């Protein structure tokens, strides 16, 4: 059987992606200030100089890892095509269900944003302007379309968006508390689907 040859470039890209994933986990778990490049190198199993080679500074690594995070979000949760303005309530429900699944797969996303929001950093300003605000524009249009056509309620679409995001993300921010307090595994497949059902029922029952 022929085994495809892994090129030097392939290995380099794999190493780079691995470092970014470890960086996201470290930054989201401990916060930017508490993490060093040596910490990330140790966790990634690479030489500290390799991180310097790929990314330069810790600030540059944070930006690269956050860019990787939002690119992954867009790939795994593509925005609905709103060019025709036909997004309906069922479309929004499915989008929310897939968002729940994404948050369960990648709890580091919400944790990283919470870390930066607490600090109110210049990094947060950058990521808000570069990624979050543009993404919200299409999501807000989707919510507004669904509200107008299906009577969700007279709620400010922006506040509704943040309410949905908060309810979706919270179990994956507090997985340890849920486990230690109630013995619940929020990341069990059946728990994830039950949470998606509950979010959809809470916000979009008609």
Mean pLDDT taken over the chain? 88
Residue 92 is predicted with a pLDDT of: 84
* C-beta of residue 27 within 8 angstroms of C-beta of residue 115: yes
The CATH-assigned architecture of domain 77-204 is Orthogonal Bundle (1.10)
Q: Which CATH architecture has domain 1-61?
A: Orthogonal Bundle (1.10)
Q: What percent of the chain has pLDDT over 90?
A: 66
**Ranges of CATH 1.10.10.60 domains, the chain:** 1-61
For residue range 133-154, list pLDDT tens digits in order: 998 988 888 888 777 655 566 7
pTM of the model: 0.87
Helix (H) or strand (E) holding 126, with range, is helix 122-127
The answer to which of 3-7, 104-108, 124-128, 169-173 has the lowest mean pLDDT is 3-7
Residue range 92-112: mean pLDDT, rounded: 95
C-alpha 175/C-alpha 107 separation (Å) is 9
Residue 129 neighbours by CB under 8 Å, 6+ apart:
none
* Region(s) of the chain under CATH 1.10.357.10: 77-204
Q: How buried is 161 (Cβ within 10 angstroms: 0-12 exposed, 13-18 middle, 19+ buried)? A: middle
């Amino acid at each position: 059987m022929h085994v495809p040859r892994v090129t030097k470039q392939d290995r380099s890209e794999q190493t780079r992606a691995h470092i970014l994933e470890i960086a996201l986990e470290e930054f989201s778990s401990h916060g930017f200030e508490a993490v060093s490049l040596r910490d990330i190198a140790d966790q990634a199993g690479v030489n500290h100089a390799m991180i310097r080679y790929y990314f330069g500074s810790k600030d540059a690594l944070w930006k690269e890892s956050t860019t990787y995070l939002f690119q992954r979000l867009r790939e795994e949760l593509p925005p609905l095509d709103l060019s025709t303005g036909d997004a309906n309530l069922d479309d929004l429900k499915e989008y929310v269900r897939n968002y729940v699944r994404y948050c369960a797969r990648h709890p580091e996303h919400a944790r990283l944003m919470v870390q930066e929001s607490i600090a109110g950093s210049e990094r947060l300003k950058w990521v808000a302007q570069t990624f979050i605000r543009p993404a919200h524009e299409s999501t807000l249009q989707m919510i507004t379309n669904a509200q107008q056509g299906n009577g969700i309620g007279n709620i400010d679409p922006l506040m509704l968006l943040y309410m949905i995001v908060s309810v979706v993300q919270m179990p994956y921010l507090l997985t340890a508390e849920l486990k230690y307090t109630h013995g619940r595994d929020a990341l069990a497949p059946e728990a994830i689907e039950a949470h998606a059902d509950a979010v959809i029922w809470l916000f979009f029952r008609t």
